[in-house]
Amino acid sequence: MNRLLLSMISPLLLTTLGLGVGCGPKAVRGGEGTDNPDLDEGAMSTGLDRKDLNDLMKVNIGALMNSPLWGAWRSGGAQPVVAIWPVKNETTEHIDSQLHTLLSDMETELINSGVVAVVSRERQAELIQESNIQQSADFNPAMAAQLGRQIGAQFFVTGKVQAVDERAKGERRVQYTLFMQIMEVETGIVRFQTKSERSKALVR
């Protein structure tokens, strides 16, 4: 009796487990060198993701490297010393982790250019802590001058992210703008400014 019951239950149990496994989400690996190189291309929401910020940053860095300021730096002999200020988030999105990645990507691009010397963000944070300076995403020229002297920076790269959110007839579009500035530490004068834009939408 027990063997008969077990023989009836076992196939049913295996079938049920098989269905459960087959219907569950499947993990996939994406990016260069994988079977899904375009995995990051698709948007999953209207929020800013790593690809959005990387694309926006590359546009701004490209504009900087084609600017008269960059040309002067390139032909000036000694490398100007540049430090990166936190990017201010003026959107309603919780994108702190994405912005930290953005700063690291920006740092990498500037270092690899060979045109400027870049103060390590880790070293910058240590000096800020040692000097009891309160650094926020709001660029304060007076505080920047003090910090610049501490870390030996002649210029700060600053930036901010803004967004315009529109909704109509069940659809949503968010227009993002990433601004970038180069500020001279001693004078607070803006030596370069540019922006890049991206729109994301949810449509029917």
Q: What tens digit of pLDDT does each residue of 131-178 get?
A: 655 555 566 667 777 788 888 889 999 899 998 888 877 778 888 899
pLDDT band at 39 (very low <50, low <70, confident <90, very high): low
103 and 65 belong to one structural domain: yes
**Domain co-membership, 92 together with 35:** no
Instruction: Name the domain count of the chain.
Output: 2
Can you give the residue range of the structural domain that contains 29?
1-41
Taken in order 76, 82, 87, 88, the sign of the CA dihedral is negative
Say whether both 51 and 24 belong to one domain.
Answer: no
Question: Rounded distance, CA 161 to CA 92, Å?
Answer: 10
Judgement on whether residues 18 and 102 belong to the same structural domain of the protein: no
- Exposed/middle/buried for 204, CB within 10 Å: 0-12, 13-18, 19+? exposed
Residue 125 contacts residue 118 (beta carbons within 8 Å): no
| Residues 72 and 128 occupy one common structural domain | yes
pLDDT single digits (tens) 59-71 = 999 999 999 999 9
